[in-house]
């Protein structure tokens, strides 16, 4: 019996599946940088200048870049960068830092600070095509610009791996700030590549993600999808991107099961309002004000016309039923559900790194 480990929050859970039920295991397999290659690229940074490193999310690749930068500063006898991050992940980031490091909550008003270097890892995104530092910044700090980006979406279905007009809106937004970014391309094994520069320049790393993470497969009737890392399944809103990345390969009337702990809840004002009956799908089509997660709520409602979606999470069943999602208590229950509803001979494809892979 094959044993497949899938990320679920800060832990991994095992999927015990019989060989006759496993269609294929889909994972990323690109060559990764070793420590000397990472250090060589980081050496282009002038560590003698003051630097405030803004950690946009917590992942192993982000932690690796931070620790490598700290080691270089120590070797060169330069001051280590100050670390800034949002409150909800401050303790997670702090736990990985060397003793004596300075870490503080990031204040939105600091965007005009030229010492800022924003650090993030690329993924695919339903609205922007790709998630980069520039798209993370427009989402966090540019609500008016987000309304423009949302209005310029390519229809009502997600477009991961494409370059919609919305992507240009994120670059326009970042053009207003004299800041730097480190955009990382990684997989579950390590860092594939990264670039340092203005956030409008580091978006070129999308080409690296495209070449390393897009896979062509036949359409599947049944799929189990793990996001691949805790930072990508912290909320329902964030974890849905992994579903969009596989959606083109799920047959009409098929079933997709997303494995995402969602320990921080829904993660979206729009989704929260929807489950509380304060927002309708029709209102999402042409809003006068953007609310975070609107696009994901719209994509979810459209894709559910094509196939069923189940969710393994800790979210209340009430929320899931409101969203027309099949609530599943755990990974074992999800496989039992598949075999019960689709037959004991049903083949299942398993995606282990859903946030960083795009299936076509």
Domain ranges of the chain: 3-27+216-359, 35-210
Q: How far apart are CA 348 and CA 222, in angstroms?
A: 5
**What 3 state SS string does 217-252 have?**
CCCEEEEEEECCCHHHCCCHHHHHHHHHHHHHHEEE
Q: What is the pLDDT of residues 162-180, one digit of tens each?
A: 999 999 999 999 999 999 9
Residue 1: pLDDT band (50, 70, 90) is low
Q: What angle do CA 38, 58, 325 make, to 5 degrees?
A: 130
Q: What is the pLDDT of residues 61-118, one digit of tens each?
A: 999 999 999 999 999 999 999 999 999 889 889 988 887 788 999 877 667 788 999 9
Percent of the chain surpassing pLDDT 90: 81
Q: How far apart are CA 220 and CA 286, in angstroms?
A: 33
268: nearest Cα among 286, 294, 229: 294
Q: What is the pLDDT of residues 30-64, one digit of tens each?
A: 899 999 999 999 999 999 888 999 999 999 999 99
pLDDT value of position 30: 86
Residues whose CB falls within 8 Å of the CB of residue 153, separated by 6 or more in sequence, listed in order: 127, 159, 164, 166, 295
Q: What is the pLDDT of residues 123-161, one digit of tens each?
A: 999 999 999 999 999 999 998 899 999 999 999 999 999
Long-range CB contacts for residues 147-154, cutoff 8 Å, separation at least 24 = 147/287, 147/289, 147/290, 150/287, 150/290, 150/294, 150/295, 151/286, 153/127, 153/295
Phi then psi dihedrals of residue 57, to 5 deg: -165, 165
Q: Under CATH, what is the fold of the domain 35-210?
A: Rossmann fold (3.40.50)
Q: Which CATH number fits domain 3-27+216-359: 3.40.50.300, 3.90.226.30, 3.40.50.2300, 3.40.190.170?
A: 3.90.226.30
Q: Is the pLDDT of residue 322 over 70?
A: yes
Is there a contact between 350 and 25 (Cβ–Cβ < 8 Å)? yes
Is there a contact between 150 and 295 (Cβ–Cβ < 8 Å)? yes
Is there a contact between 265 and 315 (Cβ–Cβ < 8 Å)? yes
Q: How far apart are CA 293 and CA 143, in angstroms?
A: 12
């Amino acid at each position: 019996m094959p044993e497949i480990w899938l990320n679920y929050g800060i832990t991994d859970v095992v999927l015990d599946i019989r060989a006759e039920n496993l269609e294929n295991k889909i994972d990323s397999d690109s060559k990764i940088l070793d420590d000397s290659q990472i250090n060589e690229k980081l050496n282009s940074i002038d560590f003698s200048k003051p630097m405030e490193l803004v950690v946009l999310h917590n992942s192993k690749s982000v932690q690796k870049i931070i620790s490598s930068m700290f080691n270089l500063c120590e070797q060169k006898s330069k001051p280590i960068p100050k670390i800034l991050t949002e409150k909800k992940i401050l303790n997670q980031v702090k736990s990985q830092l060397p003793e004596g490091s300075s870490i503080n909550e990031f204040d939105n008003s600091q965007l005009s600070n030229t010492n800022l270097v924003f650090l993030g890892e690329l993924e695919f995104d339903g609205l922007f095509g790709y998630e980069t530092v520039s798209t993370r910044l427009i989402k966090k700090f540019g609500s008016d610009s987000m309304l423009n980006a949302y209005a310029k979406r390519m229809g009502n279905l997600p477009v991961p791996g494409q370059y919609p007009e919305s992507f240009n809106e994120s670059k326009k937004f970042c053009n207003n700030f004299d800041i730097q970014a480190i955009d990382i391309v990684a997989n579950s094994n390590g860092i594939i590549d990264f670039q340092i520069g203005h956030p409008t320049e580091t978006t070129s790393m999308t080409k690296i993600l495209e070449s390393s993470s897009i896979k062509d497969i036949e359409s599947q009737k049944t799929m189990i999808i793990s996001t691949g890392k805790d930072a990508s399944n912290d909320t329902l809103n964030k974890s849905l991107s992994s579903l969009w990345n596989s959606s083109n390969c799920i047959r009409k009337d098929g079933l997709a099961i997303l494995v995402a702990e969602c320990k921080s809840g829904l993660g979206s004002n729009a989704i929260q309002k929807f489950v509380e009956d304060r927002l309708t799908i029709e209102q999402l089509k042409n809003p006068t004000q953007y609310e975070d997660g609107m696009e994901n709520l719209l994509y979810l409602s459209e894709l559910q016309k094509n196939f069923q979606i189940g969710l393994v999470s800790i979210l209340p069943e009430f929320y899931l039923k409101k969203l027309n999602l099949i609530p599943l208590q755990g990974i074992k229950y999800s496989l039992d559900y598949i075999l019960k509803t689709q037959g004991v001979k049903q083949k299942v494809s398993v995606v282990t790194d859903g946030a960083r892979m795009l299936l076509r």
